[in-house]
């Protein structure tokens, strides 16, 4: 597959029709872990799709409410869900938009509902 680039404001919802329930569940599980340790966590996706349906993703927390300054937590491969080293993560294009834990949970519920028909 040729590399595809998503719009700069893409989120998991943007590519929801290509995501598997398992992929979203694993992202959500990691979000829960971060939420327990960091607090309000958000997820953004990589704009370069190496394999359709498995965008890389990274977690960040908003550290400065007034400026929206983000604190990078960790980035993960969408295919393997293994951590991407920080120095490599910053070499990739990431979306400017993000989703909250609640929004990702809602997306998972929608995927499950659609699967049942």
**What gap in Å lies between CA 60 and CA 80, rounded to an integer?**
20
Instruction: Report pTM.
Output: 0.89
pLDDT at 74 exceeding the cut of 90: yes
pLDDT classification of 1: cutoffs 50, 70, 90: low
Contact 19/38 with Cβ under 8 angstroms?
A: no
Phi then psi dihedrals of residue 110, to 5 deg? -65, -40
**Token pair for residue 84?**
């991407």
Residue 114, pLDDT score: 87
Structural domains of the chain, count: 1
Query: What is the torsion angle, in degrees rounded to the nearest 10, for the CA atoms of residue 97, residue 34, residue 83 and residue 19?
Result: -50
Question: The domain containing residue 84 runs over which residues?
Answer: 4-116
As a whole-number percent, the residues of the chain with pLDDT over 90 amount to: 68
What are phi and psi for residue 84, nearest 5 degrees?
-100, 125
Summarize pLDDT for 30-48 with one digit per residue, the tens.
999 999 988 889 999 999 8
Residues 6+ apart with CB under 8 A from 65: none
Output phi, psi for 7, to 5 deg.
-60, 155
């Amino acid at each position: 597959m040729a590399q595809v680039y998503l719009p700069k404001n893409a989120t998991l919802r943007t590519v929801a029709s290509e995501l598997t329930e398992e992929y979203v569940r694993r992202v959500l599980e990691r979000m829960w872990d971060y939420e327990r340790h960091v607090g309000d966590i958000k997820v953004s996706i990589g704009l370069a799709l190496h394999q359709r349906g498995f965008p890389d993703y990274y977690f960040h927390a908003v550290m400065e409410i007034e400026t929206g300054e983000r604190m990078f937590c960790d980035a993960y491969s969408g295919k393997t869900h293994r951590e991407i080293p920080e120095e490599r993560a910053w070499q990739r294009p990431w979306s400017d938009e993000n989703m909250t834990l609640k929004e990702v949970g809602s997306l998972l519920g929608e995927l499950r509902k659609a699967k049942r028909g």
